[in-house]
């Protein structure tokens, strides 16, 4: 098995396990409660599926990376919201955790369909090269199997056997953390040279994208400061697991995987710092 094949297996296993763990920790009643606030959900959808991809596209056109595969990595993460780090960061920031949990599940579920369709539209803007095109049907099928189905399994166990779900939740979350660290470690090892080659200009562009994502979430978060924190962090935290599945499945061994990982690490660290600052201010 080659290193890239190992990475592909790891990211799929990580995503499946992570989605099951998310489902185990969320009740159907909590999801219904968030979904009833349809205006908030609609604003979250606009922030994550319209504004973030549009800002990403604009910044890529402005900075114009030399490697044509770099835009693919950023656009992949731009269309993959619903990261599992959203609720913990919102709790750290003393925001509306229930809203963050509901949005995480709703966005993670809808991205299985929305992400490949958006990539079909956005990737051709960056290059006429056929290598920057994806098989939308294949991605939809992959994400339905590796993301939506495991999420539904976790939700089903939580709904039908809540006691069992509670017993499984802690070890499932621990396994998610271990698999996540292992996967990131292997990808870092495989793409270390490319990561080190990122110039200062690249980091400036990534920081600009992160700040713009914060601004979009805050402005669309509604009148409550707590829900604004929830939407800000949910919008800035993209789903790195899903992004790596798409990047490695379509552009394995290229700078697309490196870009996905690089921005994934930066947005997690940046959002953690913001959440910690908000939490300290609230105390």
Taking alpha carbons only, the member of 263, 200, 201, 205 closest to residue 58 is: 205
Best-predicted range by mean pLDDT (17-21, 98-102, 227-231, 243-247): 227-231
| H/E stretch holding 161 | none
CB 115 within 8 A of CB 48: no
In the predicted model, what is the mean pLDDT of residues 279-283? 82
pTM for this predicted structure: 0.84
Q: What is the mean pLDDT of the chain?
A: 86
User: Tens digit of pLDDT for each residue in 51-68?
Assistant: 999 999 999 988 887 777
**Whole-number Å distance between alpha carbons of 12 and 218:** 32
pLDDT for residue 132: 64
* Rounded distance between C-alpha atoms, residue 202 and residue 64, angstroms: 10
Percent of the chain residues topping a pLDDT of 70: 96
Domains and their CATH numbers in the chain: 3-277 (1.20.1530.20)
Tell me the C-alpha distance between 136 and 246, whole Å: 10
* Residue 114 half-sphere exposure toward CB, CA atoms < 13 A: 19
Task: Spell out the alpha helix ranges (H) of the chain.
Answer: 3-24, 28-36, 38-46, 52-63, 70-78, 86-92, 97-126, 136-143, 149-160, 162-190, 192-196, 200-219, 225-236, 240-251, 255-282
Number of C-beta neighbours around residue 39 at 10 A: 8
The string of DSSP letters for 57-68 reads HHHHHHH--SST
Torsion sign across C-alpha atoms 146, 42, 238, 281: negative
């Amino acid at each position: 098995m080659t290193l890239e094949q190992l990475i592909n297996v790891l990211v799929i296993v990580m995503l499946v396990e992570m989605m099951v763990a998310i489902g185990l920790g969320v009740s159907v009643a909590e999801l219904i409660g968030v979904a009833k606030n349809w205006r908030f959900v609609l604003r979250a959808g606009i922030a994550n599926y319209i504004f973030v991809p549009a800002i990403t596209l604009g910044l890529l056109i402005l900075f114009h990376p030399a490697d044509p595969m770099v835009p693919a990595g950023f656009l992949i993460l731009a269309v993959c919201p619903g990261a599992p780090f959203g609720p913990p960061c919102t709790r750290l920031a003393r925001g509306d955790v229930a809203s963050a949990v509901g949005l995480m599940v709703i966005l993670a579920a809808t991205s299985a369909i929305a992400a490949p369709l958006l990539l079909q539209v956005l990737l051709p803007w960056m290059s006429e090269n056929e290598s920057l095109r994806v098989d939308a049907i294949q991605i939809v099928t992959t994400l339905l199997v590796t993301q939506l189905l495991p999420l539904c399994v976790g939700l089903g166990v939580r709904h039908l056997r809540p006691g069992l779900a509670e017993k499984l939740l802690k070890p499932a979350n621990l396994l998610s953390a271990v698999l996540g660290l292992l996967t990131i470690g292997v990808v870092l090892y495989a793409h270390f040279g490319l990561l080190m080659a990122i110039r200062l200009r690249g980091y400036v562009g990534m920081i600009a994208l992160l700040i713009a994502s914060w601004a979009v979430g805050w402005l669309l978060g509604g009148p409550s400061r707590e829900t604004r924190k929830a939407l800000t962090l949910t919008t800035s935290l993209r789903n790195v697991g899903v992004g790596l599945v798409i990047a490695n499945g379509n552009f394995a061994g290229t700078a697309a995987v490196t870009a996905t990982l690089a921005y994934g690490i930066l947005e997690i660290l940046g959002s953690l710092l913001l959440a910690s600052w908000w939490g300290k201010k609230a105390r």
